[in-house]
Amino acid sequence: MRARDLRDRLRWANVSLRYKGLIVVGIPMLPLVVTAFLWYSNQRRADAADGLVAHTLKVKAELSHTLTLLVDAELGARGYLLTRDPEMVRAFHAATAALVPTLRQLVQDVRDDPSQIARLRKMGPLARNRPLSSIIAHADKMPAGSPPPLDLLERSRTSMKGLRDVLQEMQEAEDALLVTRSDEARAARRQGTRVTIGGLVVGLAGGVFAMLLFTRSVARRVGDVASNAKRLARGEALLPMEASRDEVGGLADALDRAGALLAERDAELRRRVEQTAAANRELESFSYSVSHDLRAPLRHIDGFASLLERRADGLDEQGRKHLRTIREAATRMGQLVDDLLSFSRMGRAEMACADVDLHTLVSDVVEEVRRDEPTRAIEWTIDPLPPVYGDRAMLRVAFRNLLANAAKYTGPVAHPTVTVGTLPRVNGAQIVYVRDNGVGFDMTYAHKLFGVFQRLHAADEFEGTGIGLANVHRIVQRHGGRTWAEGAVNQGATFFIALPDQGEAG
């Protein structure tokens, strides 16, 4: 179980992006670092070999110098014997004096090499056996031209030869060392170059591999997620994505869930719309019933009351008045039913929106209202009105209601005036108002003005069913607009409608 967990967590797809990044960068980096290290160590090896070569050369120089000093001493002693020149004795002493530190240095420099030390040791007795001091003493003692001390000279030559041979051996040993050490330095350099080239190649290959790995495991999947996000934004179905537990996988999962949620909401919305449609159909059939079933009994009440009126000879005045009241009540209820139905139709009717010449429309409606009551002397003022976007027939009903209202409620006023005008646009909405100087209303009840069958005046004071402003409100609302009113008792009223620009009606 744990092992499987671990294996699962170590699956490449499940490794988090941070570690994926580390790995992807690490793949080319690692060989490069190793290369750098190897290169450095080879370099050191080469340097060390170079140091040894230099040392060998130094030793060889010292050996040469030693030989020179030995020869100088010999020449000094022999020269003095031949010429009795004291200069020669000084040269002998100088060479002999310089020989001591030179040999000491040589011992110092070859102390790590036992074979050379052994050879050096052989030089001791040979040097000591040289009778140079004796030759000089002989020369001092004997007058010039006397026969040379042949035995001394012979010993000196033999020693000198031994010394030369030893030095020659040592030179040859150093030469051999020089060859191996030079080879060693060259080999180290060559290997360093090879390691560097190899490391670069491996690092480069690692880089290519890492890039492929990144492309395959991250870039492509991020691309998939991005294209799925776009599909989601367009409302299309999502394509299946590889399951994984890194950040990309999390993103893909979240996207999947968002898609599912969206689909769910969509289905829910559809269900709601379906329900609304069903409710609307029900309302439709209800309206139909009201229209048919409620009007029929009303007609019957009025009809039979009317038939009864014809035979009213038996009735007194009071009885006939009751009959009239019955008929009036039935008629009024018929009116209410009709108004309610037209109101409901106004809410359901399809809208046909276009640019509407509001000025002409309002002028026409004013003309209509005037014709309805030709005896009224109302002073109408219509300011220039801008074109608006909406359903012409509905807007006509709205203004018909507003203007008829204005005419109605200015009834008791001596000099009635009605003004239709506009206010500056607010948030792109066109505001049109209808102002009258009629009986007005109490602002306390302003919120009731636009309700169905809400009235602020007694029915016998002003006729009407109270559907007019409700219709105005509904029409403006369906245009995406807003209605409100201002007024005061006996100081007139102003009704405002705000119609938004094209595209917001619905």
- Residue 351 φ/ψ, nearest 5 degrees: -95, 135
Helical segments of 215-294, H only? 220-234, 247-289
Query: Which range touches another protein (CB under 8 A), out of 56-64, 147-155, 292-300, 372-380?
Result: 292-300
Q: What is the DSSP letter of 423?
A: E
The binder of another protein chosen from 166, 195, 305, 358 (CB under 8 A):
305
Shortest spacing between CB 299 and another protein, in angstroms:
5
Q: Which residues contact 486 (CB under 8 A, 6 or more apart)?
A: 443, 446, 493, 494, 496
The binder of another protein chosen from 3, 118, 233, 307 (CB under 8 A):
307
Burial class (CB in 10 A: 0-12, 13-18, 19+), 7: exposed
Quick one: residue 393, left, alpha or beta (phi over 0 = left, psi -120 to 50 = alpha)?
alpha
Q: Tokens for 69? A: 């000093």
Question: Which residue number, 335 or 454, has a Cβ lying nearer to another protein?
Answer: 335
Distance CA(400)–CA(207), nearest Å, equals: 80
Query: Which range touches another protein (CB under 8 A), out of 118-126, 191-199, 329-337, 398-406?
Result: 329-337
Query: Which range touches another protein (CB under 8 A), out of 126-134, 206-214, 232-240, 297-305?
Result: 297-305
The binder of another protein chosen from 74, 246, 302, 436 (CB under 8 A):
302
Q: What is the DSSP letter of 147?
A: P
The site map against another protein for 242-281 (x = CB under 8 A) is ----------------------------------------
Burial class (CB in 10 A: 0-12, 13-18, 19+), 414: exposed
Side-chain half-sphere of 69: how many Cα atoms within 13 Å?
19
The site map against another protein for 199-238 (x = CB under 8 A) is ----------------------------------------
Distance CA(27)–CA(20), nearest Å, equals: 11
Question: Which residue number, 129 or 280, has a Cβ lying nearer to another protein?
Answer: 280
Question: Which residue number, 135 or 298, has a Cβ lying nearer to another protein?
Answer: 298
Helix (H) or strand (E) holding 458: none
- # binding residues, another protein (CB under 8 A): 25
Quick one: residue 113, left, alpha or beta (phi over 0 = left, psi -120 to 50 = alpha)?
beta
Question: Which residue number, 285 or 491, has a Cβ lying nearer to another protein?
Answer: 285
Side-chain half-sphere of 408: how many Cα atoms within 13 Å?
16
Comparing CA positions, the residue from 272, 274, 276, 265 lying closest to residue 235 is: 265
58 is an interface residue for another protein by CB under 8 A = no
The binder of another protein chosen from 179, 278, 283, 296 (CB under 8 A):
296
The binder of another protein chosen from 177, 298, 395, 449 (CB under 8 A):
298
Comparing CA positions, the residue from 245, 230, 235 lying closest to residue 13 is: 245
Residue 430 pairs with which residues in a beta bridge?
A: 499
Shortest spacing between CB 418 and another protein, in angstroms:
31
Burial class (CB in 10 A: 0-12, 13-18, 19+), 56: buried
Residue 355 pairs with which residues in a beta bridge?
A: 389
Shortest spacing between CB 266 and another protein, in angstroms:
31
Distance CA(21)–CA(163), nearest Å, equals: 72
Shortest spacing between CB 447 and another protein, in angstroms:
31
Question: Which residue number, 4 or 292, has a Cβ lying nearer to another protein?
Answer: 292
Shortest spacing between CB 338 and another protein, in angstroms:
7
407 is an interface residue for another protein by CB under 8 A = no
| Cα 304 versus chain centre, distance | 81
Query: Which range touches another protein (CB under 8 A), out of 146-154, 216-224, 265-273, 283-291?
Result: 283-291
Distance CA(8)–CA(471), nearest Å, equals: 68
Question: Which residue number, 245 or 295, has a Cβ lying nearer to another protein?
Answer: 295
303 is an interface residue for another protein by CB under 8 A = yes
Question: Which residue number, 196 or 291, has a Cβ lying nearer to another protein?
Answer: 291
The binder of another protein chosen from 16, 287, 419, 422 (CB under 8 A):
287
Helix (H) or strand (E) holding 18: helix 17-83
Query: Which range touches another protein (CB under 8 A), out of 17-25, 28-36, 194-202, 302-310?
Result: 302-310
Shortest spacing between CB 282 and another protein, in angstroms:
15
Distance CA(380)–CA(406), nearest Å, equals: 10
Shortest spacing between CB 464 and another protein, in angstroms:
17
93 is an interface residue for another protein by CB under 8 A = no
Instruction: Report 330-359 residues binding another protein (CB under 8 A).
Output: 330-331, 333-335, 338, 341, 345
The binder of another protein chosen from 84, 231, 295, 455 (CB under 8 A):
295
291 is an interface residue for another protein by CB under 8 A = yes
Which residues are near another protein by CB under 8 A? 287-288, 291-293, 295-296, 298-300, 302-307, 327, 330-331, 333-335, 338, 341, 345
